[in-house]
Chain A
Amino acid sequence: MDFQSCFDIIGPVMVGPSSSHTAGVVSIGKFTYELLGGCQPERVRITLYDSFAQTYQGHGTDKALLGGLLGMGTEDVQIKDAIALAKEENIDYQFLLEKDHCPYYDHPNTVIIVAEVGYRRVKVGGVSLGGGLSQIFLINDAETAIRLSTEDDLRSICNRLPLYMLTNHQQEV
């Protein structure tokens, strides 16, 4: 049962154009932002898989992820300007495209984000399930299954994570 509430079906309230390619990924980006302690990353590498890799520009998946990483929510009308805003903030970002499906999670809408600020580095794997609902399946090197709706308080979810998930992994960004 991925969908738990009537507001998962009638909702989210969001900027278009795609609930799975835009709204769901804003949450994954914002989750990463909260995992960095409510900070915008200085450097970020974003790997898009499968359907995401094919259609990310048209759906604004890139803007949605960067918007989330800048701390925006799904209703934020500034999401359409997120690329320009990320450049203004001097964020060193790069999108990497993998045409195949993600090795960690079998779904066409998957993304892996490696983000850094100062000495902090986090790796987050997220899947957008449709209707604005998403799930975090990887934090650093620990597999997990954290369901995110666009209404969740992502900061408090991050604050409740077990300590072993928060240890930095060694892979280079």
Chain B
Amino acid sequence: MQLNSMEELLSYCETQNVSIADMMINMESEKTEKTREDIFNKMKDRLIKMQEAVESGKSDGTPAPSGISGGDALKMGEYINSGDTLSGSLITRAMRYAMATSECNARMGVIVATPTAGSAGVLPGILFSLRDNDDYSLDELTYGLFTASALGYIIANRSFVSGAAGGCQAEVGSATAMAAGVIVEVKGGTPVQAVHATAMALKSLIGLVCDPVGGLVEVPCIKRNVIGTSIAFSSADMALAGIESRIPCDEVIETMYRVGREMPRTLRETSLGGLATTPTGEEIKRKLYNR
């Protein structure tokens, strides 16, 4: 069994009458000859590592070693506690947890790359917000990680998941696309709806460049993770409403690849363009490397 496209994934789910998550567990078990239980437990361990990163990050107000990030997850928490926020608690908590994880990453704390460290905030953001709001169990969220891995697996093998190869669309774009599909499946949507959500989320981030200020995974990466959670929820809501992506998901992924190949080197994690070369970006870089 091999998984080459979203089309193949959907046809497998349909003929076998299984969820995307179950399909991934089946495939992993077939490839590795490990039991479903072993595979499930290993994934659950990763979920717990993600939870630990959220917990450590959300109440840690200390700055990253660079001094240019840190403390915003704490601010977001105080804002939520004020009870007067524009977005509802599902979105605001997802934002807070994504920020907590990405700030933990910037501090060289332990995180789980989903699919990369630079984009590690989006998935824990949406998962632990779903848990807080709808009381999902850790097991249900673990299934969500299998859904995420199947979607990410196809994206990663047909395109790329590194900012240096394909820009931020490949990192936060892929993470957000995975997260959108996860939300749909956790909320009881069909595999077809999940893949539409993935397509709609990825389409929204096509072309996003990788332009880290001072070469650090902090500015603008942390906030892009935060915003990614909102795009994931919007895409999932559209899919659950029965709205479809006009462009099939496999073609969206192919587009992301094509756009990444055409993206100049200056906008692929070299810090030679984009926000990295704004006057403020340059000033931060000078201060960092003259210390």
Distance (whole angstroms) from the CB of B236 to the closest CB of chain A? 19
Distance (whole angstroms) from the CB of A72 to the closest CB of chain B? 13
Asked if A58 contacts B112 (CB within 8 A), the reply is no
**Chain B interface main SS type:** helix
Asked if A55 contacts B215 (CB within 8 A), the reply is yes
In the complex, chain B residues whose CB is within 8 Å of the CB of A3: 153, 156-157
Asked if B107 contacts A16 (CB within 8 A), the reply is yes
Asked if B43 contacts A10 (CB within 8 A), the reply is yes
Report Cα–Cα, A131/B153, bound state, in Å: 11
Partner of A16 from the list B32, B117, B157, B170 (CB cut-off 8 Å) is: B117
The yes or no answer to B162 lying at the interface (CB within 8 A) is: yes
Complex interface residues of chain A between 110 and 161 (CB less than 8 A to chain B): 128-132
Using A16-B106, A58-B212, A58-B216 as known contacts, say yes or no to A131 and B115 having CB atoms under 8 A apart: yes
Contact segment of B201-209, B244-252, B269-277: B269-277
Q: Mark A89-126, 1 if CB is under 8 A from B, else 0.
A: 00000000000000000011100000000000000000
Asked if A131 contacts B116 (CB within 8 A), the reply is yes
Q: Size band of the A side of the interface?
A: 35 or more
The yes or no answer to B49 lying at the interface (CB within 8 A) is: yes
Contact segment of A17-25, A32-40, A163-171: A17-25
In the complex, chain B residues whose CB is within 8 Å of the CB of A56: 215
What's the tally of chain B residues with a CB closer than 8 Å to chain A? 62
Asked if A15 contacts B157 (CB within 8 A), the reply is no
Asked if A10 contacts B215 (CB within 8 A), the reply is no
Contact segment of B81-89, B143-151, B225-233: B143-151
Report Cα–Cα, A3/B110, bound state, in Å: 22
The yes or no answer to A43 lying at the interface (CB within 8 A) is: no
Using A4-B31, A54-B272 as known contacts, say yes or no to A130 and B161 having CB atoms under 8 A apart: yes
Using A3-B153, A58-B212 as known contacts, say yes or no to A132 and B110 having CB atoms under 8 A apart: no
Report Cα–Cα, A143/B178, bound state, in Å: 35
Asked if A1 contacts B157 (CB within 8 A), the reply is yes
Complex interface residues of chain B between 30 and 49 (CB less than 8 A to chain A): 31-32, 39, 42-43, 46, 49
Report Cα–Cα, A2/B148, bound state, in Å: 17
Complex interface residues of chain B between 134 and 152 (CB less than 8 A to chain A): 145-146, 148-150, 152
In the complex, chain B residues whose CB is within 8 Å of the CB of A59: 215-217
Distance (whole angstroms) from the CB of A85 to the closest CB of chain B? 14
Asked if B216 contacts A14 (CB within 8 A), the reply is no
In the complex, chain B residues whose CB is within 8 Å of the CB of A8: 153, 156
Distance (whole angstroms) from the CB of B218 to the closest CB of chain A? 8
Asked if B270 contacts A5 (CB within 8 A), the reply is no
In the complex, chain B residues whose CB is within 8 Å of the CB of A60: 108
In the complex, chain A residues whose CB is within 8 Å of the CB of B123: 10
**Who on chain B is nearest to A7 by CB?**
B42
The yes or no answer to B105 lying at the interface (CB within 8 A) is: yes
The yes or no answer to B188 lying at the interface (CB within 8 A) is: no
The yes or no answer to B80 lying at the interface (CB within 8 A) is: no
Q: Mark A74-96, 1 if CB is under 8 A from B, else 0.
A: 01010110000000000000000
Asked if B108 contacts A16 (CB within 8 A), the reply is yes
The yes or no answer to B214 lying at the interface (CB within 8 A) is: yes
Partner of A108 from the list B116, B150, B268, B271 (CB cut-off 8 Å) is: B268
Distance (whole angstroms) from the CB of B223 to the closest CB of chain A? 15
In the complex, chain B residues whose CB is within 8 Å of the CB of A130: 115-116, 156, 160-162, 164-165, 170
Report Cα–Cα, A10/B216, bound state, in Å: 22
Report Cα–Cα, A58/B218, bound state, in Å: 10
**Who on chain B is nearest to A151 by CB?**
B42
In the complex, chain B residues whose CB is within 8 Å of the CB of A54: 215, 269-272
Given A5-B32, A58-B288, 7 new contacts (CB under 8 A)? A3-B157, A6-B43, A16-B107, A17-B217, A19-B118, A54-B215, A57-B215
